[in-house]
Structure 1
Amino acid sequence: MGKTQKIGTYRYRILALLMFATTINYFDRSIIGVLAPTLQKLFGWSNSDYAGIIIWFQIAYAIGMLAMGGIIDKLGTKKGYTLAIGTWSVFGMLHAIVPASFSILGFSIARFGLGIGESGNFPAAQKTVAEWFPKKDRAFATGLYNAATSVGAILAPFVVGWIVHENGKNWQIPFLITGGLSAIWVFLWFRIYNKPETHSKLTKEELDYIQSDSEIENEEKLPWNKVFLKKETWAFALAKTTDAVWWFYLFWGAKYLSLTFEVDVKNIGLPFFIIYLLADLGSIFGGYLSGYFIRKGYGINKARKITLLSCALIILPVASVAITGNKWLAIVLIGIGAAGHQAWSANIFTLVSDIFPKKAVASVTGIGGMSGAIAGIITSFLLGKALDSAGKEGFFWAFLIAGSCYLIILGLVHILIPKMTPLDNNLNHITKP
């Protein structure tokens, strides 16, 4: 702790802003999942109608991930992040003015715009972590800002439950809240953020620490197609297909609890608090664990993969959720799955900055996010159809896949990149003399 004080802690102010932005992002994203049973009754949506609205968000997220990563690498983190949060805030607030007469179309348009904007959060945040933290600290830093996804998801049911009546009155207000929060964030971001190399408030000791285990990079831009074709990019994209599981918890969790245990909008707060508190703890611990292994002398490849294997094993019991008859046991099992996922997520995000030069981090993160969004589109479509035809029994297969897919995916990632060899400025493997 003394060493951290001596070298300075300005990088943690930047990390706090990443956590704030990610909290806003997930608060905005989670509102519709919490309100799903209420909105379905209010507007007469079927499960397939609701799935279609969610899918429009996921389509936009996939498109945006592919585009936003490159845009952020080109504009730089400061301008790129501001563009992303401004876009998602406007479309988030637009949900509130959708009239009942064309609710499906209106919500689909609003969700599409929200997805385009929100797709920029993780490429920008991960690029910021790569710029402001040495490799040995990146998984922990990622775990902290990634934990803010759960903070946003925890806040959403409490805010919605406090403001929205059981009959749906005031459903518009939660969608408007994030506009004010985003304006505060943009003000702070422009006041505080610059790249470490040019930041006037950063001490030389802290800058040296940040750059202590990174290669010096040139400013030459990398062609997007060169990044796209690397097998390391697709190993990350494969690992990110697990985003479909996280989105299943986020967008269908309230629906599952409503159908199975009759949990309504006024009672969803505590179950979501338990699930996402566990997810927060998982994110922070997962980020800490691989860093602990590195400090113990493990190579990055071994440290990250042992941690990912631990996550996959922790998640396995989720496969049994749909056959439990106890509400609180189901909630705890989902929470354990969410914790394992967030620990997994913190480490796979860090794989990008472990392997790729900083100037490619946002692009690769975007490509992986696109992969996760496409997986989410497929699962939302199939689950909506399954629930309309089979009722709540459709959740059986969803939880079975959610619990078992991580082990399979980790095996495939290891086949693609058995050794995580860093890439240089031109995306060639760095060979040690």
Structure 2
Amino acid sequence: MNDVSQTTAMPTLGAKVGRYRWRVCAMLLAATTINYIDRQVFGVLAPFLQDKIGWNEIEYGHIVTAFQAAYAIGLLCAGAVIDRFGTRIGYALAIGIWSLAAMSHSLATGVLGFAAARFALGLGESGNFPAAIKTVAEWFPQRERALAAGIFNSGSNIGAIAAPLLVPIVAATWGWQAAFLFTGALSATWLIVWLLTYRTPDNQPRLSAAERAYIGHEPPGPRSRMRWSQLLRYRQAWALVAAKFITDPIWWFFIFWLPKFLHASYGLSLLELGPPLIVIFVLADIGSITGGWLAGRLIKLGWSANRARKGAMLICALMIVPVIFAAKAHNLWLAVALVGLATAGHQGWSANVYTLASDMFPRFAVASVVGIGGFAGAVGGMLISTVIGLLLQATGSYVPVFAMAGFAYLFALIVVHLLVPRLQPARLDEPPPGNPPPSPIAAAE
């Protein structure tokens, strides 16, 4: 069987069709940047809050796990809520919750207080990526989706860069509580702008007719949402679940343990952490945009979506392998280079993995499918956070953790290919191949 090419025919509209969709992408970029600033504040301050408050590695692992548990729980319903109420209202609900949760960290005085604040933050932040991916599916044709996803996903790196730049200065000047209040206020500001400006393409009066036609080649789907139990009957959903479960924990490790790794291995102070983290996440930013651009470029050259997506994912996976040597690097900047290459590979990989959802599912199901994948990634993150905490408390060695990181992506790509060898779209109007139609009793549940 030949590869199923998914380069859906576009209307011929001339070279210029408008650029309003890229303004929407800029809004998603800003939201994701703020999302990661809010998320990263705790990681930047962790080595010094640990000394101040007195938690150990196991307790720190529990605090991180609280965020990831809430993130997983939130994703059980975030995608469905966004599919049901739409991106405008769904995104607003998510960012409103995480803005309040981010500021609530300033009230914490111990392990339980921080765990509660992290739990609330995880609930709110769980809505970001389902909402953003659904917005991309609404506003972009298929050949541009990976690039758009790569651009907004680069906000995670910009946020991770901004946090070590801003947080130490704010904390040193006004105290660590002010850092959480400041970043929470950024979220609230974005929320106001979003509600005032965002509309779907069908309802956006500033969108030209040509650009609306360019975007709107896919017919709208039904308004009723599909339950997870229905979506999980399809191998396409399990491909996203596997990719996220295997590789998301590695990104969680980079986000929450890199400052601690650099502090423990090279004795960096709060202000000295800034330059290495900035370099690492600048490289990640480049990887995010390049990984999304690469797949789109290959599609334009005539590759099928299957070959282009998996080819880009393979290149990104190979970039991560050298990180296995980072824990033994005797020079700070060698370690930074190895980790930076790995974060670039992860973000390029992630831009393409997110786009798998819109490659294989219609728009009305995208946020739910991304929610399922995000839930799997958060569960994997919970597991690895507990394991890392126990491992570091017992041995103090990062070697096995970096070894896991180095080979996880190649393994994940193999699993994805076995599940969807041709990246064929899920036919949600038909029973999955090999599965009998649901019984009337099951359908009524």
Q: TM-score, normalised by structure 1?
A: 0.94
In structure 1, the residue matched to 2:282 is: 277
Change (3 A) 1:4 1:337: farther
Change (3 A) 1:202 1:253: same
RMSD: 1.6
Select which of 347, 355, 376 maps to 1:371. 376
Query: Does the alignment pair 1:51 with 2:61?
Result: yes
Deviations 1:345-403 (A, max 9, x none): 00000000011011111111011111111111111111111111112x2x000000101
In structure 1, the residue matched to 2:406 is: 403
Between 1:195-204 and 1:398-407, the stretch displaced more is: 195-204
Distance 2:113 2:411 in 1: 39
3-state SS of 2:135 partner = helix
In structure 2, the residue matched to 1:238 is: 242
Matches within 5 A, 1:305-384: 305-384=310-389
Matches within 5 A, 1:246-285: 246-285=251-290
Distance 1:220 1:34 in 2: 42
Deviations 1:185-240 (A, max 9, x none): 1222122211111221111100111123x344333432332113321111101111
3-state SS of 1:221 partner = coil
Distance 1:358 1:429 in 2: 19
**Conserved 8 A contact 2:323-2:339:** yes
- Deviation of 1:169 (Å): 7.0
**Conserved 8 A contact 2:326-2:335:** yes
Matches within 5 A, 1:116-195: 116-165=123-172, 170-195=175-200
Query: Does the alignment pair 1:60 with 2:70?
Result: yes
Distance 2:107 2:248 in 1: 30
3-state SS of 2:16 partner = helix
Deviations 1:320-347 (A, max 9, x none): 1112111100011100000000000000
Distance 1:251 1:425 in 2: 38
Query: Does the alignment pair 1:21 with 2:31?
Result: yes
> How many residue pairs end up in the alignment?
420
One-letter amino acid of the structure 2 residue matched with residue 161 of structure 1: P
- Deviation of 1:12 (Å): 1.1
**Conserved 8 A contact 2:234-2:426:** no
Deviations 1:236-281 (A, max 9, x none): 0111121111110110000000110001211111001100000000
Distance 2:431 2:41 in 1: 43
3-state SS of 2:176 partner = coil
Select which of 429, 433, 439 maps to 1:426. 429
Change (3 A) 1:342 1:427: farther
Deviations 1:265-304 (A, max 9, x none): 1111100110000000000000000000000000101100
Distance 1:33 1:97 in 2: 17
Query: Does the alignment pair 1:210 with 2:220?
Result: no
Structure 1: gaps spanning 5 or more residues: none
Select which of 109, 116, 121 maps to 2:116. 109
In structure 1, the residue matched to 2:226 is: 222
In structure 1, the residue matched to 2:3 is: none
Select which of 87, 91, 96 maps to 1:81. 91
Change (3 A) 1:25 1:416: same
**Conserved 8 A contact 1:55-1:377:** yes
3-state SS of 1:8 partner = coil
Distance 2:184 2:271 in 1: 24
3-state SS of 2:222 partner = coil
In structure 1, the residue matched to 2:419 is: 416
In structure 1, the residue matched to 2:440 is: none
Change (3 A) 1:4 1:116: farther
- Deviation of 1:98 (Å): 1.4
Distance 1:252 1:76 in 2: 35
Q: TM-score, normalised by structure 2?
A: 0.92
**Conserved 8 A contact 1:143-1:286:** yes
One-letter amino acid of the structure 2 residue matched with residue 416 of structure 1: L
Distance 2:15 2:46 in 1: 47
Distance 2:126 2:355 in 1: 18
In structure 1, the residue matched to 2:47 is: 37
Distance 1:163 1:92 in 2: 15
Distance 1:426 1:19 in 2: 34
Structure 2: gaps spanning 5 or more residues: 1-12, 434-445
One-letter amino acid of the structure 1 residue matched with residue 160 of structure 2: A
